[in-house]
Structure 1
Amino acid sequence: MTKHRRIAKTIVSSVTFALFFLFTTNIYAQPNGQALFSSNCASCHAVHKDLTGPKLAGVEERWGNQENLYKWIKNSSAYLKTGDQYAVSLWEKWNRTNMPAFNLSDEEIGAILTYINSVPDPALAQPVPGVTGAQGGGEGDNTLLYGILTLVLAIVVLILLQVNSSLRKLSAEKQGEPVLEPVPFWRNKVYIATFTIILFCIGGYLTVTGAIGLGRSQNYQPEQPIYYSHKVHAGTNQISCLYCHGGAQEGKHANIPSLNICMNCHMAVNEYTGTDKLYKEDGTEVNGTAEIQKLYKMAGYEPGKPWDPSKGKPIEWVKIHNLPDHVYFNHAQHVTAGKVACQTCHGEIQNMDEVKQFADLSMGWCVNCHRETKVQFQDNGFYSIYQKFHDDLKNGKIDSARGITVEKIGGTECQKCHY
């Protein structure tokens, strides 16, 4: 009977291991391409749109050689030294800015490329009223699937434990040994301890995740008192961001445009004549002309009559981007001195109807940008104090391809943002 008991234990252990291996292999063997794209690529690249870097759709066809593409992704600075003509032309086209080096395996890069190839081109899709904000929702998010599979696996393990207990009981009965009554689940110290540890881990994870996310509002997209489409203004009509947000070029704050900025154009433009229909995030169609009338009401303006600004009242726009009070951020230092494009922090603002917060604006996100972004020394009086860096670049002491990052001039020091 002892032999039978050993056989039963072996069977139970083997089945448990096989099921565990089956589930975990399917779940964790393949890296998540969308997650890797979001954490490594999305700050500079989109799939079907040019941002601060080129669009990535068709990148494999453009490169032709997969091995060279992988080398470029892992360390573009080192690959440029090989003199590859396509790499050099790409580097020159995009302002001679190098990508940061990525510690990615070939399998992870392959997963990213697979995800890129799976994203449909929105230009080829017909807009469907009612589902504007639903496109892409949940794509690539396997959290629910992982949770279900984990629950199924836990149930299977419990069943196998019960089977093992029953086999041991049968074996004891055949041997004539006394059979002890099993301890109820709620009194079993092993089960209680295991359950407590699991709850502690889950609670700790949720607490830490929640604490890290305090004050962050990524993807926050409030409804504004007047429907204002950045896609129409900054995209279709090519109005410069700095026309409305002049403070971004000269001061700490970007500033919300006052009524007179809006009325400079809309005293002449009194109806929406665009060919593209406007939709809210929930798919509701928007009457652009009616929204202009809302502006007139706030401004106290009657078409055909002189406008008296004193009759107007400020539009109560809902603020989207907020930083903690203990964080110092200066728009002019980034826009004017750093030559940072608006899209780097705010996403493809020229393609947004209702604006949302693109980046999480966390400290880690900012620090990583400082570590990777090169300082634009040329024709930049703000950085003239760093004459040593100018001289080192000219004398070849510093690799011009890699350049001087913000980190090297103190961009990651605590007192730069917290003082």
Structure 2
Amino acid sequence: MIHHRPIVKTFIFSILLSSLVSMGNTGYAQDATKGKTLFQTNCASCHSPVKQVLGPALKGVTERVPDKKLLHDWIKNNSKVLQSGNPYFTALYAQFNKAAMNTFPNLSDADIDDILKYVETYQAPTATPGEGTPTQKEEGDNTLLYGILTLILAIIMMVLLQVNSSLKKLSDDKEGIPAHEPIPFYRNKVYITFVILILFILGGYWVVQGAIGLGRTKNYQPVQPIFYSHKVHAGINQISCLYCHTNAWESKHATVPSLNVCMNCHAAINDYTKGPKLYREDGSEVNGTDEIQKLYSYTGYDPKTQRYSNAASAKPVEWVKIHSLPDHVYFNHSQHIRAGKVQCQTCHGPIQEMDEVKQFADLSMGWCINCHRTTKVNFGDSTGNGNKFYSIYEKFHKDLKTGKMDSVTVENIGGTECQKCHY
């Protein structure tokens, strides 16, 4: 029996080591995935990897600018690079009518490298005409895989325990040691205790998760009275979020735009024939022209006479609210978007890729606090860049200047104090 124990230990150690290595490899080299999130949060409003939007297409930028440090400097503070007289960026600046690019001093070199890797490895999604709903590959959650691996390891452990018991019985028989009658599984106190403990842990976990999740509506995606595609408006046509949700720049609420904002465009655009096919979440195809006609019925507009001849029948659209916070939570859009320079995609996800909008984040307190703990504040500098709103925190300016601090997060300026978000 003693001679078999090293073999069994080596076998178990090999299984555990290979499992850990495989799990480690699964989580390694995910910089392109991280880069996708960073790109959608910081860059997607002005850039596309493969086509010109407000700025140039980014794919191939590492070949056009082989100096990585220069590219990092451009992204973090392009005005400084322009002052140096670099010919490539000077020409690019002139090509886009000298429109200043946003600066991103909060991005680390590793973050920028992740974005560049995503851009350079980007492949445009393709859909075969006439084959129904185009499918989009979603990033998988490895939780199920880890659970299966854990179950397999548990089964192997139980098998090895039985092997160990059998080997011990053979060794005892050979040495003449009287064998004890084996205890049935259902009467073995060790096994019973182990099963009860597992059930207690699982039950407690499910109860706690259920209690935490009460009132949360992540992935909530209701059907709206009019099929409004953010993918067509904000994605393909590059309409700024603030064009429709103007109040997000000035007030607490982003608000749903009034119908006259829609009619600014749709008084002239009365059919949908040139865009990609539209599909609901269930796969059914949507007639875009019919949805525009619904808009006319709500506003009382007659596209033939181009007059609001049916104004008496006009009524507001009863949109279904998606994002709701508890009554005791205070959230101000202007504070985040205007003062904090937070991109819409940070909370709402890749909204420019959504047809039917859904709630992207769980909007929990922990989710908000984690963002406040990691989001760096863009203080002003000597060149005039940065957010002047934070100039009142003179202490942090001095600490940054003397090198006492390398960055300031939202937490440092009170972003985790209870009264900041709760009445």
TM over 0.5: yes
Residue 302 to residue 114, structure 1, CA distance change in 2 (3 Å): closer
Q: Specify the alignment match of 1:418 in structure 2.
A: 422
Q: Which moved more, 1:409-418 or 1:46-55?
A: 46-55
Deviation at 1:354, TM superposition (A): 2.0
Residue 49 to residue 126, structure 1, CA distance change in 2 (3 Å): farther
* Contact preservation (8 Å) 1:129, 1:283: no
The percentage of counterpart residues that share the same residue type is 51
Q: Specify the alignment match of 2:365 in structure 1.
A: 363
2:414 aligned partner, one-letter code: G
Q: 1:20 aligns with which of 5, 16, 19?
A: 16
Q: Specify the alignment match of 2:255 in structure 1.
A: 255
Q: Within 5 Å, which residues of 2 pair with 1:74-223?
A: 84-93=69-78, 95-99=102-106, 116=118, 121-123=123-125, 129-132=131-134, 134-137=135-138, 139-223=139-223
Distance of 2:262 and 2:46 partners within structure 1: 28
Q: Specify the alignment match of 1:76 in structure 2.
A: none
1:249 aligned partner, one-letter code: W
1:331 equivalent in alignment to 2:336: no
Q: Which ranges in structure 2 are unaligned for 5 or more consecutive residues?
A: 50-57, 79-100
Deviation at 1:155, TM superposition (A): 1.9
Distance of 1:289 and 1:380 partners within structure 2: 44
- TM-score with structure 1 length normalisation? 0.75
1:7 equivalent in alignment to 2:11: no
1:41-72 per-position Cα deviation (integer Å, ceiling 9, x unaligned): 5653249963589969778778869xxx8xxx
- What CA RMSD, in Å, does the superposition of the two structures yield over aligned residues? 4.2
Q: Specify the alignment match of 1:409 in structure 2.
A: 413
Deviation at 1:412, TM superposition (A): 2.6
Does the residue aligned with 2:18 lie in a helix, a strand or coil? helix
1:89 aligned partner, one-letter code: W
Deviation at 1:85, TM superposition (A): 2.9
Distance of 1:376 and 1:280 partners within structure 2: 43
2:76 aligned partner, one-letter code: W
1:219 aligned partner, one-letter code: N
For CA contacts below 8 A with separation 6 or more, give which structure has more relative contact order. 1
* Contact preservation (8 Å) 1:51, 1:343: no
Deviation at 1:289, TM superposition (A): 0.5
Deviation at 1:375, TM superposition (A): 4.5
Residue 211 to residue 87, structure 1, CA distance change in 2 (3 Å): same
Does the residue aligned with 1:353 lie in a helix, a strand or coil? coil
Deviation at 1:321, TM superposition (A): 1.6
* Contact preservation (8 Å) 1:245, 1:254: yes
Distance of 1:228 and 1:323 partners within structure 2: 23
Distance of 1:49 and 1:256 partners within structure 2: 25
* Contact preservation (8 Å) 1:44, 1:52: no
Q: 2:44 aligns with which of 30, 47, 50?
A: 50
Q: Which moved more, 1:317-326 or 1:372-381?
A: 372-381
Distance of 1:281 and 1:119 partners within structure 2: 28
Distance of 2:158 and 2:365 partners within structure 1: 43
Residue 388 to residue 342, structure 1, CA distance change in 2 (3 Å): closer
How many aligned residue pairs are there? 387
- TM-score with structure 2 length normalisation? 0.74
Deviation at 1:301, TM superposition (A): 4.2
* Contact preservation (8 Å) 1:249, 1:336: yes
Distance of 1:140 and 1:61 partners within structure 2: 31
Deviation at 1:182, TM superposition (A): 0.9
Residue 397 to residue 101, structure 1, CA distance change in 2 (3 Å): same
Deviation at 1:20, TM superposition (A): 3.0
Q: Which moved more, 1:327-336 or 1:43-52?
A: 43-52
Does the residue aligned with 1:122 lie in a helix, a strand or coil? coil
Q: 1:383 aligns with which of 389, 404, 412?
A: 389
Q: 2:354 aligns with which of 347, 352, 355?
A: 352
1:19 aligned partner, one-letter code: I
